[in-house]
Amino acid sequence: MAGSANKSERALVQEWRDVLALHARTVCELDRELHPHGLGASDFEVLDVLAEGTPADGGKSYRVQELAGRVHLSQSALSRLIARLEKEGLVARGMCPEDRRGVRVELTDEGRARYAEVLPIQRAVLTRMLAEDAPGPATTR
């Protein structure tokens, strides 16, 4: 019984490692493909969240804290990324009307245009990487 439990545990660990490896390869490929457009995978992730629905389907503004809950960055890394995207004219920051201590972030027209330009590239990378390299249960490489 202990032998099968160890085998199951090894399979679980291998599956986890496969997921991590797929994530790392996909992020590297996204960074490589988006680099000529002045973006990286994390930049795109922020633009992608901001581009989701409303206002008037041009995107949405988020409080930085809300955005941090939607992207895979620490709040300090996200703040630095937002500052860089703002400097590049892709996002705008403003005070929250409901809480003057909070900061809201939204896409600019330039940010929407850049997002629209790279969206097909990002989706093609995801399609390619996830279709070709998706790990099955306990696959070995």
For residue 32, what is the domain's CATH number? 1.10.10.10
d(C-alpha 112, C-alpha 107), whole Å: 6
* Residue range 6-27, pLDDT digits in tens: 779 999 999 999 999 999 999 9
Highest mean pLDDT among 103-107, 126-130, 131-135: 126-130
What single-letter amino acid sits at 139?
A: T
Inside any domain, residue 140: no
Q: How many domains does the chain have?
A: 1
Inside any domain, residue 8: yes
pLDDT at residue 102 tops 80: no
How high is the pLDDT of residue 65? 85
CB-count burial class (<10 Å; 0-12, 13-18, 19+) for 86: middle
Inside any domain, residue 92: yes
Which pTM value belongs to this model? 0.80
Inside any domain, residue 75: yes
Range of the domain at 55: 2-133
Straight-line distance from the first to the last Cα atom of the chain, in angstroms, rounded to the nearest whole number: 27
Inside any domain, residue 49: yes
Q: In this structure, what token pair is assigned to residue 22?
A: 């797929």
Inside any domain, residue 54: yes
Inside any domain, residue 139: no
How high is the pLDDT of residue 141? 39
Inside any domain, residue 138: no
Mean pLDDT value across residues 107-134: 91
* Residue range 40-97, pLDDT digits in tens: 999 999 999 999 854 544 457 888 888 988 998 888 999 999 999 999 999 999 877 6
